[in-house]
Amino acid sequence: MENPVQIRGRSQEKTCAHRAEVSGYAGMLAGSVGVARRNRVLEDQLATLRREHDHLLGAMYEAAQVQRKLCGPRLLRREPFEIASEIFPVRHLSGDFISVFELGADLVFAIGDIAGKDLSAGMWFTHVVGMVRLQVEALGDPAAALSTINRNLLLTLSELPLTTVLVGRLNVQTGEVTYCSAGHPPALLLRNDGRVESLREGGPVLGVLADACFANGQTTLRPGDTLLGYSDGIAECQNENGAEFGAERLAVAAQISRGFSASGTLFSVLGAAEDFAASQSRQDDMALIVVRRADE
């Protein structure tokens, strides 16, 4: 038979065990409350990040729409000429640009490529496009306009992205084209008889050399002729073997569409480039402009 001391000892042990069990439950409960609180904080932070992400995507979308408006119009007709153009950013914003506008009785077209992608190039987009239009309207001469733009870019205090531009001025009465290329891939002139000419006159990339010289080239669009200006994103489009689409395939694709409208040729060439790349993802922005003189 247990004595009173033994009974009290065993009672104290049970009490201590109960207290420890209660304390353990309390600790677990406190831990669960802490975890729940942390989870709520993380969920709130994640929701904030999602809202900021959605806001950023919305802002990028709006900026992309502004770029497209600045690059308009996508289609312009002035008998017997038709100009079609399109830009395809590899991400949200484009470093490639196109500008088509009237200058007196003439039409001016420009296609360019600002090095970089998305925001880095997009931040320069409006500035460069604005300068091209301003200087061509003020000076009228493509070479003089590019020379002035080059000097203005070099006067900025920021580190400049490399920029290439092709500017052409088309006399819709005669079909004469005065053009100048600042380091841009040579435009292709597809004659109605099947010959292909490369338009190479101009000067160096913009924003590099303070004493750069730019010279105009001259050609004439005859009935049935088509002029193509393109960015290197099309020519350098690669297939799964690493081969590039190149200017020759571009010319062949355009010749296959000979007799098409300017829009038909544009989408035929872009489709050929996409088919060539197949499953390979694009690595650069693409831009294409087609100037066609109708058959007489």
Alpha-carbon dihedral angle through residues 225, 244, 121, 145, given to the nearest 10 degrees: -30
pLDDT at residue 55 greater than cutoff 70: no
Residue 148 is predicted with a pLDDT of: 96
Nearest-5° Cα angle at 202, 217 to 81: 45
pLDDT at residue 211 greater than cutoff 70: yes
pLDDT, average across residues 272-295 = 87
pLDDT at residue 31 greater than cutoff 80: no
pLDDT at residue 9 greater than cutoff 80: no
pLDDT (tens digit, 9 = 90+) per residue, 97-141?
Answer: 999 999 999 999 999 998 866 566 667 788 888 999 999 999 999
Nearest-5° Cα angle at 152, 150 to 154: 70
pLDDT (tens digit, 9 = 90+) per residue, 137-149?
Answer: 999 999 999 999 9
pLDDT (tens digit, 9 = 90+) per residue, 232-262?
Answer: 889 988 888 889 999 999 999 998 888 889 9
User: Contact at 8 Å (CB) between 162 and 209?
Assistant: no
pLDDT at residue 79 greater than cutoff 80: yes
Say which residue the tokens 């992309």 belong to. Answer: 64
pLDDT at residue 24 greater than cutoff 60: no
Distances (CA, A) of 41 to 30, 48, 50, 51, 160: 17, 11, 14, 15, 43
pLDDT at residue 265 greater than cutoff 70: yes
First-to-last C-alpha distance (Å) of the chain: 127
Quickly list H helices, the chain.
4-70, 118-139, 142-155, 232-235, 246-256, 262-277
Minimum mean pLDDT among 5-9, 30-34, 256-260: which range?
5-9
Q: Please state, in angstroms and rounded to a whole number, the distance separating the CA atoms of residues 225 and 219.
A: 11
Q: Please state, in angstroms and rounded to a whole number, the distance separating the CA atoms of residues 127 and 133.
A: 10
Q: Please state, in angstroms and rounded to a whole number, the distance separating the CA atoms of residues 181 and 2.
A: 109
pLDDT (tens digit, 9 = 90+) per residue, 157-203?
Answer: 567 788 999 999 999 999 999 999 999 999 999 999 989 999 999 99
